Amino acid sequence: MTLIAVRKRTLSVETTFHENGPAPAVPLRIASACAVIRNPYAGRYEPDLLPFMAELRALGRSLAEELVTALGGVANVEVYGKAAIVGVDGELEHGAVWHEAGGWAMRSVLGEPKAIVPAAKAVASAGYRLMMPLHHVHACYVRSHFNGVEVGLQDAPRPGEILYALAMGTGGRVHSRLGGLTAENIAVHDGQR
């Protein structure tokens, strides 16, 4: 018997053509994919969440593959992030299982990049919007790639549901000009696993 019952999924692609300055040579694209599932532990305490976390890997992989396709392939992906919004009959730990499942899925699909996957999570009512952090896939200290994308759905999560989200993007902020480590100069210990 599966612990995962999906009610709906969404895919959103945001394209930024300019930020008050000259248009970039290539527009920035950030894609987010969400899955709303039934929370198998809503309303009760479950001491062992590891089977749930393991089963979520397949969902994570599916969302990650959808994002890569939306962005035109692995070579185009420079940033990533993950998030979870748990309905009010659940607990924050039901969102935290996404750290391993969602992060593993993205790294697996992207060829094992070295940076940790940034995350956000909350327990909230349907319609809650969460800012998901994004950073460079190979080193989390690349300042030009610190960004975020809003995730959430008007009708989710219901009290007994969880919304899990992944996001990927094609680059750093348009017109980033605040110095710091550049993508070209990533080295060991620059925010790598």
pTM: 0.95
Domains located in the chain, CATH noted: 9-17+24-185 (3.30.1330.110)
Check: CB of residue 78 under 8 Å from CB of residue 29. no
Over its length of 193 residues, how does the chain's per-residue pLDDT go in tens digits? 689 999 999 999 999 998 888 888 999 999 999 999 999 999 999 999 999 999 999 999 999 999 999 999 999 999 999 999 999 999 999 999 999 999 999 999 999 998 999 999 999 999 999 999 999 999 989 999 999 999 999 999 999 999 999 999 999 999 888 888 888 888 877 777 6
Reduced to 3 states (helix: H, G, I; strand: E, B; else coil), residue 81 is: strand
Element (H, E) at 102: helix 92-109
Is the separation of the CB atoms in 89 and 42 below 8 Å?
Answer: yes
Core vs surface per residue 91-110: b (16+ CB within 10 A) or e: beebbebbbbbbbbbbbebb
At residue 1, the pLDDT reads 67
Interacting residues of 112 by C-beta distance below 8 A, sequence separation 6+: none
Per-residue pLDDT, 42: 98
Q: What pLDDT does residue 193 have?
A: 61
Report pLDDT for 103: 95
- What's residue 37's pLDDT? 98
pLDDT at 185: 84
Sheet strands (E) in 17-140: 28-38, 79-86, 119-123, 130-136
